[in-house]
Structure 1
Amino acid sequence: MLRLLVPVVIGLLLLAIIAGWFWYTTWLVRSAIDELAHRRRLLAGVDPLQVTAKKAAASVEAAHDAAHRALSLTVESWYDLRESRAVGTALVERFPKIEERAARDPEFLDVLEDADALLNETRPGADEIDELLGRTTRMDELNLRLRALVHQYDSAGRRGLGRFFP
């Protein structure tokens, strides 16, 4: 019985080795084919990670352009109001007081100066996404602060029924 068992065990061991080698070879070939397909997608520019990165970069650039446009419109509007003395707008009666408060407030002058500097700063062609996002955030902060200060100067002399009913 032992004589029969030894060849069966050796045969099963040999069969397991052959099956393992076959499985390993199949896995190796499949990995090589997958890697070649991945390289082909990378070269074609259609890899999902590449497409996602391109979409993210395009989204950040669009947000930067929108923030730049909004900040430049705000700054231009302020200079236009100063130049025209707000004639033809709803602020025509209140603008002299708004302008006077703005001229005396160093915070407003600093924010306006920072906005001008940021708008006049040339944007390098190959900005990193995080740098571009930082510039976008800074532009949005300046725009929001400018608008909040002008609104604060406009509502400084008025009294309403409270915070909810100006």
Structure 2
Amino acid sequence: MARVGEFEFPDDLWFDVELDVWARQREDKSIVLGMTDPAQARAGRILHVRARTGKSVEAGKSTATIESGKWVGPFPAPLKGTVLELNPLAAADPNLINRDPYGEGWIVRLQPSLPDWPQGNLLNGPEVAKRYEVKLTEEGFSCMLPPGGKKEDQ
């Protein structure tokens, strides 16, 4: 697993660093999307998430709306497709996105328009950590572990 400070980037996921989105292809070829660990940390406590199923989206366009204590805004798609589902667990408990951003805290499931995988600007492995290290430094976002070496519960 790649790491930058306190942030993790699992090897089985694909990341769009510019959009702060991760993607995982499922057996049925649909794509599950979620916020990256740095994105959820920046947003703060997630209060609400909503999406319109059946909506067709272009790469870079919104699949859902996220509301946190600090921000309300779009959750972008890293690839073109159709929104199939809003995660019912995250809809019922939006803070799940903060607690488990790479697992149960996924946000939407998308049916991609193209069968190729991966596509777009998706990266994985060590390249993700290199790009995030640069991005977080440029943004002035501290990604160092707090004393004791563990992330604080949100």
Pair in the same fold by TM > 0.5: no
TM (normalized to structure 1)? 0.21
Of the two, which has the highest radius of gyration?
1
Higher strand fraction: Structure 1 or Structure 2? 2
Higher helix share: 1
